[in-house]
Amino acid sequence: MKQGIDKALYYERVSTTHEEQANSLENQRDMCEKYLKRHPEIQLAEPIDRYSEQISGKSDERPKYQEMMKRVERGDISYIIVKDIRRISRSSEVSAQLKNTAKKYGFKFILLSTGSVYDPNANDTRLMYGFESLLAEETVYRQSEYGRIAHHQKCENRRLNRNNVTFGYRWDDEKKDIVIDDDKVEIVRTLFDMYVFQDSGIQEIRKYLAVNDLHYSAKTVNKWLMESAYIGTFHINKMGSELGVGSGQKTKRFRNPKDEWVPVERPDLAIIDKEIFDLAQKIRESRQHYYEADKNGVSQGRFRGSHLFSAKVFCAECGYPYVHNYADRKQTIGIYKDSFSMRRKNALEKCENKDFYRIYEDDLKEIVVTAINGLVQNHTECFDLLLSVVEEVLMDENSYNKHLAAKEAELKKLSKKAEKTKAAYIEAPGSLKAALAEDYEKISNQIIDAKAEIEDIKGSLKDKEGIKEQLIKIKATIDSWRVIDKDMINRKMVEIFINRILIHSNGNIEVILNTGEIQNYSLPESSKKERNSEKGSFFDAEKDIQYEYGRGQYEESIRTLIEEILIKRNNEVKLLLFSYSYFQNDNCEKAKRKECNVFTYIGVLWAYIR
């Protein structure tokens, strides 16, 4: 930049992606270009279209806004150019943060609507900035309320709008109504004809659409086959929302229960005969596989919670996950199949993994058992070390006393804070009483929780027998991990040890453990077509672990986290992975470097001692 030239950023925003708001973006940009021509002493540090977005300003959860704020942190920006202050924020909380950021990095705003420089931290504008922020936020709430009223009236009058347009229809701006799309209506009729009369599946229909340059997912095609709009029955009020305003807030959208949907009968918009539509529903239901869990406990029930290897098995060629299914009609033989054909965007694409696109669940169990046992048996010393640290923490009164003192100090601070809040409540004007009362209630609840934790710690100090029982249970848990058999494998254990499993097109399987180790397996040719329990697979573990901790550091880390779960009662501690290395003499002249790896699932221990 030339000397005397100020750097600026330009930000533009509209609330929605509707076509009618595109003109607003063009107008905002035109105003910016004209302003820069009149003020050559100001130049953009980034392209004029860099920070442009079509999203509500009620929150700071805006990608371009966040990107711009990070750019500001370099400290070389003098101005942010924007049409008006409401373009950049419609939340009092976000506006307050923006004001502090402007003060910290020394930038001001140029408002194109007035052509003026605006400093939210100046004495003559500070009060008005806060007032305008509150008004902008109130406008958001009122617009939301107006929208709810309009939606309620729409439901009462059973009136359709452009949001109810689905494939096969379009919105007519002149009629202000939904009309049949002549270019797509025959496609809709053809896909129902293929499904009902030609016995075509979802994938065949997707290929037909792809040939016509229409690329849709299997989920979308399946949704069309259930779309009652094609027989003239539209539904409104399918979706609901909960407004989110402020920093880090997002508007939550959710699907309403079917009994809350409002039907709108439009026989003039029917595309498919009802008889054909009903046949499609019967075929669709007959092809679905919603199984109950086997009474004998042989197999899992599909869509009944998380499967054993759910979100752990992936195709190494296409990257798509394998999903649970069954290899027999009785649903007793579990398999995992590559989901590429279901999820691909282009129905004509193919995955190179043709021979091992599915794998038996029992094969995966054997592979995982071998992988875990190989890891555990190589690190038995780590279990002994972990057990000794657990015992030391449980029996060390100093640890309990330390946390008891910290919790008592916290209770003292909370009590003082409660007294001050109560005194402020008595003296406060009416408008602040509600906020102070809410603060006092929060502090009171924190005091109750702190007192309960103090009593819990005191009880643990007195209950020596209880501590011994805890230790016995923990020892049993850790000992049970030393040798794992096929029957012990469950979902929790898979999450503890397994990061992911990659299936290659040549039958090789990579088991990536949560410790960072990679173990390789090879599926035999027989796995392509039939189940073979005697596979003769080979096992190889690649040693590429990075050891970051010394033994002392490792022991301290374990101690801290054991205290978290056993003394502080922190139930949020998840999977903990540690590696350590240390020097051990072993009666030799030179110290030998000994490397070990330890893993522990504190959540499992907590489940045993709660």
Compute the distance between CA of residue 169 and CA of residue 184 in angstroms, rounded to an integer.
8
Compute the distance between CA of residue 172 and CA of residue 180 in angstroms, rounded to an integer.
10
Compute the distance between CA of residue 323 and CA of residue 315 in angstroms, rounded to an integer.
11
Compute the distance between CA of residue 192 and CA of residue 190 in angstroms, rounded to an integer.
5
Q: Which regions of the chain carry the CATH code 3.40.50.1390?
A: 6-142
Contacts of 273 (CB under 8 A, 6+ apart): 231
pLDDT per residue as tens digits for the range 386-406: 666 666 666 666 666 777 888
Compute the distance between CA of residue 87 and CA of residue 56 in angstroms, rounded to an integer.
9
Q: Which regions of the chain carry the CATH code 3.90.1750.20?
A: 162-287
pLDDT per residue as tens digits for the range 213-267: 888 888 899 899 999 999 999 999 998 988 999 888 888 888 899 899 999 999 9
Considering only CA atoms, give the Rg of the chain. Answer: 32
Task: With a cut of 80, say whether residue 368 has pLDDT above it.
Answer: yes
Cα angle at 107 between 103 and 113, to 5 degrees? 115
For 446, half-sphere exposure in the C-beta direction (CA atoms, 13 angstrom radius) is 17
Task: With a cut of 80, say whether residue 533 has pLDDT above it.
Answer: no
> Minimal CA–CA distance to 9: which of 57, 79, 69?
79
Token duo for residue 419? 């007294």
Compute the distance between CA of residue 360 and CA of residue 336 in angstroms, rounded to an integer.
6
Please state the CATH superfamily assignment of the domain spanning residues 6-142 in this structure. Answer: Resolvase, N-terminal catalytic domain (3.40.50.1390)
Task: With a cut of 60, say whether residue 298 has pLDDT above it.
Answer: no
Per-residue DSSP letters for 558-587?
HHHHHHHHHTS--TT--EEEEEEEEEE-TT
pLDDT per residue as tens digits for the range 132-173: 898 989 999 998 898 889 889 999 999 999 889 999 999 998
For 472, half-sphere exposure in the C-beta direction (CA atoms, 13 angstrom radius) is 6
Cα angle at 572 between 569 and 573, to 5 degrees? 85
Return the pLDDT at 79: 96
> Minimal CA–CA distance to 498: which of 324, 312, 373, 360?
312
- CB-based contact 52:23 (threshold 8 Å): no
Return the pLDDT at 610: 41
pLDDT per residue as tens digits for the range 51-102: 999 999 999 999 999 999 999 999 999 999 999 999 999 999 999 999 999 9
Stretch 189-199: mean pLDDT: 89
The mean of the pLDDT values for the chain is 78
Compute the distance between CA of residue 231 and CA of residue 133 in angstroms, rounded to an integer.
49
User: Does the CA dihedral 209-213-215-216 come out positive or negative?
Assistant: negative
Return the pLDDT at 505: 87
* CATH 3.40.50.720 at 162-287, yes or no: no
> Minimal CA–CA distance to 520: which of 544, 496, 493?
544
- CB-based contact 322:337 (threshold 8 Å): yes
Question: Highest mean pLDDT: which of 57-61, 442-446, 599-603?
Answer: 57-61
DSSP, collapsed to helix, strand or coil, labels residue 406 as helix
Return the pLDDT at 260: 92
Return the pLDDT at 521: 83
pLDDT tier for residue 598 given thresholds of 50, 70 and 90: very low
Compute the distance between CA of residue 564 and CA of residue 558 in angstroms, rounded to an integer.
10
Return the pLDDT at 433: 76
CA 155 → CA 20, 158, 344, distances in Å?
A: 25, 5, 37
Contacts of 215 (CB under 8 A, 6+ apart): 209, 345, 346, 347
Using DSSP bridges, classify how beta strands 51-54 and 169-172 pair: parallel, antiparallel or unpaired.
Answer: unpaired
Return the pLDDT at 475: 66
Stretch 108-128: mean pLDDT: 92
- CB-based contact 557:509 (threshold 8 Å): no
Using DSSP bridges, classify how beta strands 592-601 and 575-584 pair: parallel, antiparallel or unpaired.
Answer: antiparallel
Per-residue DSSP letters for 250-315?
--EEEEPPGGG-EEEE-GGG--S-HHHHHHHHHHHHHH---PPPPTTSSSPPTTSS--TTTTTEEE
Compute the distance between CA of residue 572 and CA of residue 602 in angstroms, rounded to an integer.
10
User: Does the CA dihedral 336-337-340-341 come out positive or negative?
Assistant: negative
3-state helix, strand, coil in the chain (%, to 5): 50, 20, 35
Q: What percent of the chain has pLDDT over 70?
A: 72
One-letter amino acid for residue 43 of the chain:
Q
Token duo for residue 408? 């008592």
DSSP, collapsed to helix, strand or coil, labels residue 200 as coil
Return the pLDDT at 539: 36
